[in-house]
Chains A and B, each alone.
Chain A
């Protein structure tokens, strides 16, 4: 028969043991969690072909371009110097995927409101109809400021060419389509060296959530 004192002692020891087991469990879980974070944190991929020149790797970047935005300002590669940007292709009279893309791009625009080094570049693929004045009104009605979100128009063939060869996005005229064009709903994420670091479906909310997370990661990595 144990006296009450040693009984409470045994209970205490048992509790302590339980506590240690719990701690061990917690520690393992935390380590596993941190490890998995570390694994997730590998840098974003770099898209396109690469060439090794001497000891350097040369990556695919956006070719030189010159377009005009909704304020009639010239927009070139220089406009995005030291900026991360998101690019897409659309036209204002499109009824199918463009309105959804614009709804989603507006989410990107709002999510990056406090990030002065993040911009958006939307190209019209119907420059004959989408004049500067029309794009101005469109951007304005969407609530987009021209210093953060450029809606550009230009020579049609230059736009199609840059879409296909620089951004790997589909954009072309097709009279058999209801609205006269075929184009992809892709959003492209570009880093400060104008290399493609991500491709997202601009008509899917989850994909655009991933884009917003990737923008934050890219900013951290490029600091």
Chain B
């Protein structure tokens, strides 16, 4: 009898402990998803201004002139290079899903680190692409190390 009471006590405290541990975690999560939403919405607006002319609003690109961002293997493999090219541009051959593109893309040096992170979050989470939010801290450390700044 005594031991079963003891057991219940232990179990309840473990439960309380688990719940207590979970609550702040949940709060963290929802805070995170609000952040994600903010990045995504702002990223979409910036994408329409700076990128959709060429890559199209559905990310499909244009012929062999402007590469697609929809399920691009280049994007999946090269987050750092993509962050750099958004701000500093790129030229030379570039392969996306087995097709060679070669047309200079001018950079947008006026974009802030936050804006670059927002655009990256948007393109990495649209049209079937799935990725975590690209944090401004991550973007800024990548940008600081871009080869041709």
- Give me the interface of A with B, judged by CB distance under 8 Å: 92-93, 95-97, 99-100, 102-103, 106, 137-138, 140-143
Contact = CB atoms under 8 A, between A and B. Distances in A.
A143 B106 contact: no
Interface residues of B, number: 13
Contacts of B45: none
Contacts, number: 35
Contacts of B103: 92, 137-138, 141
B91 to A, nearest CB: 11
A103 B54 CA distance: 9
B62 to A, nearest CB: 6
Contacts of A102: 62, 65
A141 B53 contact: no
B66 A99 contact: yes
A95 B62 CA distance: 13
Contacts of A100: 53
Nearest to A178: B106
Contacts of B63: 106, 141-143
Nearest to A97: B53
A99 B51 CA distance: 10
Contact of B62 (A92, A99, A137): A99
29 contacts: A92-B103, A93-B104, A95-B53, A95-B54, A95-B106, A96-B53, A97-B53, A99-B54, A99-B62, A99-B66, A100-B53, A102-B62, A102-B65, A106-B62, A137-B102, A137-B103, A138-B65, A140-B64, A141-B63, A141-B64, A141-B65, A141-B101, A141-B103, A142-B62, A142-B63, A142-B64, A142-B65, A143-B63, A143-B64
Contacts of B106: 93, 95
Contacts of B65: 102, 138, 141-142
A92 B106 CA distance: 12
Contacts of A138: 65, 103
Contacts of B72: none
B26 to A, nearest CB: 44
B126 interface: no
A92 B65 CA distance: 10
A142 B106 CA distance: 19
B111 to A, nearest CB: 14
Nearest to B62: A103
B125 to A, nearest CB: 23
Contacts of A140: 64
B56 interface: yes
Given A99-B66, A106-B62, A141-B63, 14 more contacts: A92-B103, A93-B104, A95-B53, A95-B106, A96-B53, A103-B56, A137-B102, A137-B103, A138-B103, A140-B64, A142-B62, A142-B63, A142-B65, A143-B64
**B63, B103, B104 — most chain A CB neighbours (10 Å):** B63
